[in-house]
Structure 1
Amino acid sequence: MRLWPLVLGGAALAVGMAFVLAPPHVKPPRPGEGANVLDARPAYAGPMGKVNVAVFDDGAPLAGRHIVFQDGAGAVVAEATSGDDGKASADAPAGGMVTVAYGNSVYQLITVTGVQPGDDIVIGETEDEGGAARVVSTARVKLPGAYPKAARYTVSLGVGATEVPRVADPLPLPVAKRFLVDEKKFRVLGEALDEKGAPAAYAFDWANLSTNAARRDVDVRLPAWSRTFREFTLALSAPTEGLTAVEGQVSVLANERDRFERPRQSASMAGPTPLRFLIPKALEGDTVYRLEFSYGASPDKAMLARSDKALSDTTRIDLREALLPRISLATVEAGADVARPTVRYRVAGDASQADAAIVRLAWHDAREHLWTILAPPATPEIQLPQLPASLKDWIPGRTPLSAAAALVEASFYKGYDDIRHEGLTEFIEDPESGEPRTWRYSATGDISF
């Protein structure tokens, strides 16, 4: 399983690891630390088998990360530390858990439940995405001139859009290697926007890298302004109870992962709601839409996204069918052991529609402690597993905790077992172009994807 960074309050999680055998002796807990500090390893009677764990960060293995194996009740059965290759293995019980501790200035824990003997769990990014952003040239983009009534201008090569400070001057932009098609050409889109930020006109062209090895700059003069837009409408109907607002984003994918984003649209939800986007006809690729919904002033939210080459100009979406059930009221109950609180949340519908449930706990004012737990979707409550004394500084204790929870589902997963083995990589990043794909989540609290 690969688990991608999950975002909470701007902090991202990315970890991986390997194992060594647990030490034969563990120090007893300090007063007030609670039973979550292990002072005697529990005997576990049940089927055991090897579980493999690997930890990476941007393709680099992470050594020295502490890994804890727990049984289904959360009791510790083994400990390990990731090796130089970021990998480790240990025997663990069927239906148990694996918890990884990582981070420097921030204490971060991630727990995967429902682990089975024979599982291969990967945490973090096995590929170095930084290499894909290597700059190979600089494009000096010149717009075709001022456009009537345009309030501002932007230029994009496929990732975001850069404001043009002076329409008469060339705008220098870095050309990343991944922007290239056939190793030599790349897309350039200039836009004139009105005072509301809506597209008024565009200029598009393909540019070629310079053949002069001593000169990296490429001069790009865009052709005349055009208004041959395609109007793409998302027609939303049947909003679920409590849904109050929507914000939409539409993009055209280029080179599978890069995207030309259209200006965001937002609206109140009081019945049928259309969101309209103008897409330059010169752009080709999968159309991707992402809709984010809110429930009044509550911390509850929902997201629905889809990528497809065949989306019609008017795409109708019945929200009763399209959205996951609303999840709300994530609470923390301390119980008898303050170091092992239980998180509970409410789901207004059938949670089994989702592929997984995710719970996130944060504590201390600076949010330097985060604990993320991945579980089957129909899990109504999650008690934190036990931690050994070697991780005494990572234990919640009596500090006030804030909780968030989410249900996630995607057409490219086949349920929780699939997520345990494949991870949340594509879900977090928004899938690349290819087969039509749909992904969605319902969440409450300070958690996003």
Structure 2
Amino acid sequence: MDEILSTLLSEDARPQDVAALRLPECYRGAVVRKAETGLFDGMATADKDPRKSLHIQDVEVPLPCAGEALVAVMASSVNYNTVWSSIFEPLPTFGFLERYARLSPFTARHDQPFHVVGSDLAGVVLRTGPGVHAWKPGDRVVAHCLSVELESAEGHNDTMLDPEQRIWGFETNFGGLAELALVKSNQLMPKPEHLTWEEAAAPGLVNSTAYRQMVSANGARMKQGDNVLIWGASGGLGSYATQFALAGGATPICVVSTPEKAESCRRMGAELIIDRNADDYRFWKDEHTQDPKEWKRFGKRIRELTGGEDVDIVFEHPGRETFGASVYVTRKGGTIVTCASTSGYHHEYDNRYLWMSLKRIIGSHFANYREAWEANRLIAKGKIHPTLSKVYSLEDTGQAAYDVHRNLHQGKVGVLCLAPEEGLGVRDEAKRAQHIDAINRFRTVEVPVA
């Protein structure tokens, strides 16, 4: 592994030098273990600690099969699916790996007593399998997390509809929180060369998800002048949704939970901000009963900020805690687009406010290759920027996941894998200088310490 790293850090390394590198027998990866799936039984979700379940261990190197690539991972990042994997909710991921393993002899190797997690990476292609022509050893890449087979007709209009669609590093093994990772070649995209490895690794999953949810014809089709309510607007997903709204001529109404997170939104250029904790919104009277009066108070506050207008789009991902309010505050004919349920999967809302006002609920899950490519292109062009706030070592992946689980983070939390330090990997210094303040927006905001 030292030889691989030395070559990748050298500016004189040629593609043939990378192709000639000897692969190690093993590499280090952040894993959850099948034997520990009962570790948190009986505990409340909030009390489950990823630091106890995420381990760094040696993993045998998987060689790429047809259509695959083996990538040396310089940096990765933590997404909420890493948290879910680490606390074994809503169920352990080993069932996903077992089902994938039954698909073919090539996928059988994904069924292991460990699961290498992680759905983002920035790194360098080391090897490609048969049939890969677009990528070669030495290519500097980022990866999106859509894994598809495309052997069924259903996926050929929108690959997210492929019956064998999976999220890499969550529903497949050999993910990105590791020194090496195994991906499909059609997950790869060019690394934005004005960014460091850790910055380039941060946008992938969340940027692509927000693009489909907000901009794509498969999502809300945001247009100029739209009012967009964005829950968790300074978080991993929301920080990209906020940028898409601002870049697309819409007006984001940013919902946050602390003054520090409100400041992050202002740094992105947002002006309309609601601190839900400061205003003490309580959408549930108790575990079973919502409070429509709080929906109305929330809607009134939105109209105060917008000059009397309701929101055209709600960018939903908290789920149970907020969904009733989201449906209520959306304007007549508006859209609630949801991609997750971090506060609970069982949503409740008053359907009168949906059907009688001709509102729409759209389910949105990650992005297809085209959408991910367009989202990455906007990063590369300096139109959308990473929202990286803090970077951990691979050994401290558990702490990084803990921060995200406990909402102690801003934007995205990065992880250095093979990169020995922060700040490496930049090749376009001129473009970086143009955007350095935007790139660093989230690095200058203090976050709470657990």
Instruction: State the TM-score, normalized to the length of structure 1.
Output: 0.25
Structure number with the higher strand fraction is 1
* Structure ID, larger Rg: 1
